[in-house]
Amino acid sequence: MMLLRILALLLLTNSAYAITNIESQRLKSSEPGTSGNISFTLDGELGESDGFTLGSSMTLIRSYIKDEWIVLFNREYSEEEGEVYSDETLIHLRHLTKHTDHWGHEIYTQYEEDLFTDLRSRSLIGAGARYTLNSDLTLKTANHFGLGLFYENEEYARTITEDNEENIRLNIYWTYRNNVTENTTYTSTLYYQPDVAALNDTKGLWQNAVTISVTSTISLRLKWDLTHDNHAPNGNSETDLSYNSIIIYNF
């Protein structure tokens, strides 16, 4: 049962050290409309040991002819024998203004908190330009590029000897989508985020995912992430590889 609970944590949450991949959540086309997905987890055990895990994840995207709104929310809470061992929250809000079929600018803000990691909280606000290489909705593939700046504030746990950080970072990304079959989509997203005051201080993410539509509303997503932070606190590993799977309800 404990193994199942740990797996549930992996399925629903993003590491506080990782970059949040908004690109994988965006609409598959630029047509006006509302799209999103939601998932819940409740896992528990009564008897020799008592514990439970509560998790929720929601993405909501509203696209207009010239605008797009994205709201992303993740929440995770778990207990074991009355002791809390996971308490995480992530909120992301983004607005894109489309000037042409190819060009647009976006502004965004994000807050994430994890009370049981070295990095207790991270907040950011930023803006940038977005270029869409493929605007023809009949194409099976799509490429998007982004360039911008954001301000971030990172607060570490009291046990960490390093000072809290405030940085301004470049945000450079590329995302690719290929509709492999009618029911299968492959996506790849690459982020590169150097500190403008110290370009050797870099963060990065390369995420690949395969999403399979089981029904008109249920999908299975398999993904793996390669994350990098060469200034990770407390001597943590600079580069990590992770993989997981999740069942998603789409609406």
Nearest to 213 by CA among 249, 175, 177: 249
pTM over 0.85: no
Q: What tokens does 154 get? A: 């990172």
CA dihedral 53, 246, 16, 113 (to 10 degrees): -50
| Dist. CA 20–CA 71, nearest whole Å | 12
pLDDT tens per residue across all 251 residues of the chain: 333 343 343 334 344 445 777 776 665 555 677 777 776 665 554 544 556 567 777 778 888 788 889 888 888 887 776 777 778 888 999 999 999 988 999 999 999 988 777 778 889 999 999 999 876 666 788 899 999 999 999 888 877 767 788 999 999 999 998 888 889 999 999 999 999 999 999 999 999 999 898 888 888 888 888 988 887 766 666 888 888 777 777 76
Tokens representing residue 75 in the block: 């929440």
Task: Give the separation between CA 101 and CA 247, rounded to whole angstroms.
Answer: 32
Query: What is the DSSP-derived secondary structure letter of residue 137?
Result: T
Domains, the chain, with CATH or none: 2-250 (2.40.160.40)
